[in-house]
Homo-oligomer: A and B are copies of this chain.
Amino acid sequence: MRDTSTSEIENLIALMAKLPGLGPRSARRAVLHLIRKRALLLTPLADSITEVAATARECLNCGNIGTNDICPICEDNERANGELCVVEDVSDLWAMERAGVFKGRYHVLGGTLSALDAVGPDDLRIPRLLDRVPAEAVTEVILALNATIDGQTTAHYIADQLSGQVRLTSLAQGVPIGGELDYLDEGTISAALRARKEI
């Protein structure tokens, strides 16, 4: 009796505890909070998550996550301005969109090349990228990959493949807005110094 009756709640706690950023204790707290705020939070969340489970999919063109086969950015003809921003992950695309400055389209690789993890070009969305460049009349590919070794290796590989076909750029490196020198790593400081500009 006891096992079956509360197992739905325990099951929910166990599932919530698998989310990044939540452990068993915070999952318990979250589930109690949900149950207390049933009308405000639990029921809407149940509906929302069921809806997302039924509809979320990767854009067949760029790898963005949306609810259609082709994502709204790829559908939007105003964004076919010849600029294509290559990112590692959907979260990077979302971060770029929050900045609200880029008006072109994206291509989500779904990771980086990695010799250690045996990730080759065909494991990422790289072949599709090479197809898109001529097909969508791309004039500039912005390689917005993370400033990690794997990210930069991947950027070099893509730059090699597209060399001569389009303008290739990467995000500027330097001191973040509001960043204090004292808290920055040496790599960032030396990159910012090398890329210094006339005032």
Listed in ascending order, the chain A residues whose CB lies under 8 Å from chain B are 1-2, 5-6, 8-9, 11-12, 15-16, 18-22, 26, 28-35, 38, 41-46, 48-53, 55-56, 65-68, 71-73, 75-76, 89-91, 94
B28:A72 contact, CB within 8 angstroms: no
B50:A50 contact, CB within 8 angstroms: yes
Residues of B within 8 A of A19 (CB): 30, 33-34, 41
CB distance from A39 to the nearest CB of B (A): 10
Bound CA span A17–B113, Å: 32
A16-B45, A28-B91 given as contacts; is B66 within 8 A of A5 (CB)? yes
Residues of B within 8 A of A48 (CB): 8, 11-12, 15
B21:A35 contact, CB within 8 angstroms: no
Residues of B within 8 A of A66 (CB): 5-6, 9
Q: A1-B72, A5-B66, A9-B67 are in contact. List 17 more A-B contacts (CB 8 A).
A: A2-B76, A5-B68, A6-B66, A8-B52, A8-B67, A12-B45, A12-B49, A15-B44, A19-B34, A20-B26, A20-B29, A28-B91, A32-B65, A35-B56, A38-B53, A42-B56, A46-B49
CB distance from A54 to the nearest CB of B (A): 8
> What secondary structure prevails in chain A residues at the interface with B?
helix
B8:A51 contact, CB within 8 angstroms: yes
Residues of B within 8 A of A65 (CB): 9, 32, 35
Q: Which of B9, B18, B29, B33 contacts A52 (CB 8 A)?
A: B9
Residues of B within 8 A of A42 (CB): 49, 52-53, 56
Bound CA span A100–B68, Å: 49
Bound CA span A32–B16, Å: 14
Residues of B within 8 A of A90 (CB): 32
